Structure 1
């Protein structure tokens, strides 16, 4: 375990060093490190193929045993793994990985298409420029299936050395991909402001192109597709880390499976090893998993949240329309600041009221949410400093209040999620009334609205022109692109956690 973690750390350090070196130094050739990413992608694909091969082998052995079974009873053969199938990460987290993975594949496909615009000569025709995005697309597709369908059926304990190094290789691959996209997005943002663009690279790129159709498409689509790659890489890294932690020797794993089988029979909701994800398992002849959703005491919160989401989208559209006219740029920033301020205040009040309403529920006793919250804190703190010391003439009214309210809201919400994740109804009256569920439903949709705002803020530095002027384009762009991916993931993961609370907190614990 220690060696596999050390191996992953080395890969991540290289994943930081290579793209940053290309940005900072003009003496290295462009894309000199593509072979390193090709190694990461091929290694991950090879490991997943190996694990699928072991699964196919085990199933083939079972089929042979079944075909040679002389008994005529209708008993089913035992699965390769005793006990229930255990999946890492909640269903909704894995569903999010698929949604963002699709966006990541679209971006890789556009990069793949750029190769066919290059001239066919020795200087421009680098096979890695087509091989790397094509391999990345294959990796994304295979990894989506691996993440969504991952289970203990793969018997990783039987190949624990290979499994530990393979999973750590995949974790490092996703982290390196995240870091690469982070650096590329920062460079694109700075280039968009025409302040720091490597002239030699730019000249080479346009000298090699026969046309610039795909190149322009990649440049225009990147602000919308980059977040998909960032979210996808983070989610996959987290789920794979949970899998790596649970690679145990076969004896230890077998005893744990028996314990979990006892804990999940008869449809009881149990907290597994997924760091806060809850599931309902029913052992029936026809289906292993059975999910029930009770939507009572939720409609008011749902429609209130939808109203807030619609108003947020309208506000953002208004910002982009007004921002096109230099005369209304200050008005555009003020308008979006007011929208954020109102949204944060309403959400903070909702969180506090919901905590009060749920305090009567029984408390039975996620680090991931706390880690993602770091991005919110970094962005808010630098924004508060920018508001405090920036030029008053460039500051839009309400900027300081918006940043403070964002800081308060995310703190209150994290405390609420960590507390409410462990609460369950203790009486039938509570199960019938479902205290706080309307507000949880509202917060679910409100976090989608805040996710939309954060996603656009990350890709457009003009949301905070005063900070851009105070810190400088380089510094503020780096601050934004380092903190905002975690902030965006915080809003996405908060939505998942709130839904788990919405689904599980109002069931009677047997």
Structure 2
């Protein structure tokens, strides 16, 4: 499931990255008279790299020869994607924080519109706004590509073991309450996100305060419900008697490593936020909600990581199980006199549904699927809001007042991309746990 998720993510985010590069080229063509030509060449080269990489990954080239050269090439590809990711994060950070810096020709200026350079066509502002909205997809693509390169590097020369494969079935009719509750949170989150962006853009203190309160309340409700459902899921896994997955699996190890590693970014922001709010004396409703939101986020991350790690290391439920059917010995003797001397009759085995044998597991499987569906949709909205511009860390000045703006901006800009990736990666892990439940 992880490989399908990575492949699908590469296609989706890679396509958006190519579109972003095209818009950047068009934008800088209109400013070629006052900008370096490198700013046109770089998006073109990056778009070519994205297209080539996606085609290469989907060629499904299983390399068993020249393993050293292959591993070196994959490590070079992985390193390149990490460099591209750092560049994209830096650009996005400069844009979000509106810091005017002089940077290398590879990067864009976060406030390029404020310069005296005028565009030769009227669509420059439109293209600039569009490709900035596509930056989250470019950032996610670089992380997806790095993860896929790592999986391919680990699988070079690896012989697959076929006897561990499972024929899994997933039906949308298995869940109902979880998707409905998740959709309610998703729609409510989208509505509050739009209102938050509109009110913050007005730059009115009262509107800004109301927007922050609304945003914090929405996040607290979602995270509190997620924490409760995740705790229930952990209890069910505690009662579950399924075997643990045995054997080394680079994909699963990467899955768990990405979950734990990317969650550290959100932990970082929450830790500094808690310290800043406590240092300021927790004055006002906004700071109180900010503190509650940060503490609940830490709890939810711990519970969700535990739930996902337990779920990813469990063997899938089997569709059928062998049952023993015994024959009536006396009836057989009466019908067949030749067998009267024998008191032992061979038993026959028939595959019968697991639900007939182990009905007590039905409610566990149903609840696990409902929990996974609910958490999946909640993680989607928690990805959408920060990925598309929600920055309450900057709109609420408590962090910048305690740490000073430059330090606080560095903390947020380092932790936020990892937090965004964590929510996206959690969606794939939750789908896999739901799929195997």
Deviations along 1:161-190, one digit per CA (max 9) or x if unpaired, are: 321121111101110001111222222233
* Larger RCO of the pair (alpha carbons < 8 Å, separation 6+): 2
Note the residue ranges of structure 1 that are not aligned, 5 or more in a row.
1-87, 270-279, 281-291, 506-510
2:173 alignment partner, SS class: coil
Distance 1:169 1:392, change over 3 A: same
The 1-side partners of 2:113 and 2:379 are apart by 43
What's 1:73 paired with?
A: none
The answer on whether the counterparts of 2:368 and 2:434 sit within 8 Å (CA) in structure 1 is: no
The 2-side partners of 1:396 and 1:211 are apart by 47
Match of 2:196 among 319, 330, 338: 319
The answer on whether the counterparts of 1:118 and 1:210 sit within 8 Å (CA) in structure 2 is: yes
Match of 2:42 among 132, 148, 157: 132
The 2-side partners of 1:99 and 1:459 are apart by 25
1:293 alignment partner, SS class: coil
After TM superposition, give the deviation of residue 142 of structure 1 in Å: 2.3
Q: Give the greater-gyration-radius structure (CA).
A: 2
What's 1:373 paired with?
A: 263
TM-score (norm 2): 0.78
The 2-side partners of 1:336 and 1:320 are apart by 10
The 2-side partners of 1:369 and 1:203 are apart by 36
Is the counterpart of residue 308 in structure 1 residue 206 in structure 2? no
The answer on whether the counterparts of 1:425 and 1:431 sit within 8 Å (CA) in structure 2 is: no
Matched residue count: 377
Is the counterpart of residue 178 in structure 1 residue 85 in structure 2? yes
Distance 1:412 1:396, change over 3 A: same
Distance 1:222 1:203, change over 3 A: closer
The 1-side partners of 2:392 and 2:265 are apart by 17
Distance 1:363 1:300, change over 3 A: same
TM alignment of 1:166-315, pairs within 5 A: 166-190=73-97, 192=98, 196-198=100-102, 206=115, 209-211=118-120, 213=122, 215-217=124-126, 219-248=128-157, 253=158, 256-257=159-160, 260-264=161-165, 268-269=166-167, 292-315=169-192
Match of 2:387 among 455, 460, 483: 455
Distance 1:125 1:181, change over 3 A: closer
The 2-side partners of 1:118 and 1:456 are apart by 26
The answer on whether the counterparts of 1:369 and 1:414 sit within 8 Å (CA) in structure 2 is: yes
Deviations along 1:489-510, one digit per CA (max 9) or x if unpaired, are: 11111110010011112xxxxx
Deviations along 1:120-179, one digit per CA (max 9) or x if unpaired, are: 5xxx474432221112112112222333x253xx24232223211211111011100011
The 2-side partners of 1:451 and 1:205 are apart by 30
Note the residue ranges of structure 2 that are not aligned, 5 or more in a row.
246-255, 319-353
Deviates more, 1:315-324 or 1:486-495: 315-324
The 2-side partners of 1:313 and 1:368 are apart by 27
TM alignment of 1:468-487, pairs within 5 A: 468-487=400-419
Q: CA RMSD in A?
A: 2.8
After TM superposition, give the deviation of residue 239 of structure 1 in Å: 1.1
The 1-side partners of 2:400 and 2:25 are apart by 33
TM alignment of 1:407-446, pairs within 5 A: 407-423=298-314, 424-425=316-317, 428=355, 429=359, 432-433=362-363, 434=365, 435-446=367-378
The answer on whether the counterparts of 2:2 and 2:428 sit within 8 Å (CA) in structure 1 is: no
After TM superposition, give the deviation of residue 392 of structure 1 in Å: 5.1
The answer on whether the counterparts of 1:119 and 1:208 sit within 8 Å (CA) in structure 2 is: no
The answer on whether the counterparts of 1:390 and 1:467 sit within 8 Å (CA) in structure 2 is: no
Distance 1:430 1:368, change over 3 A: farther
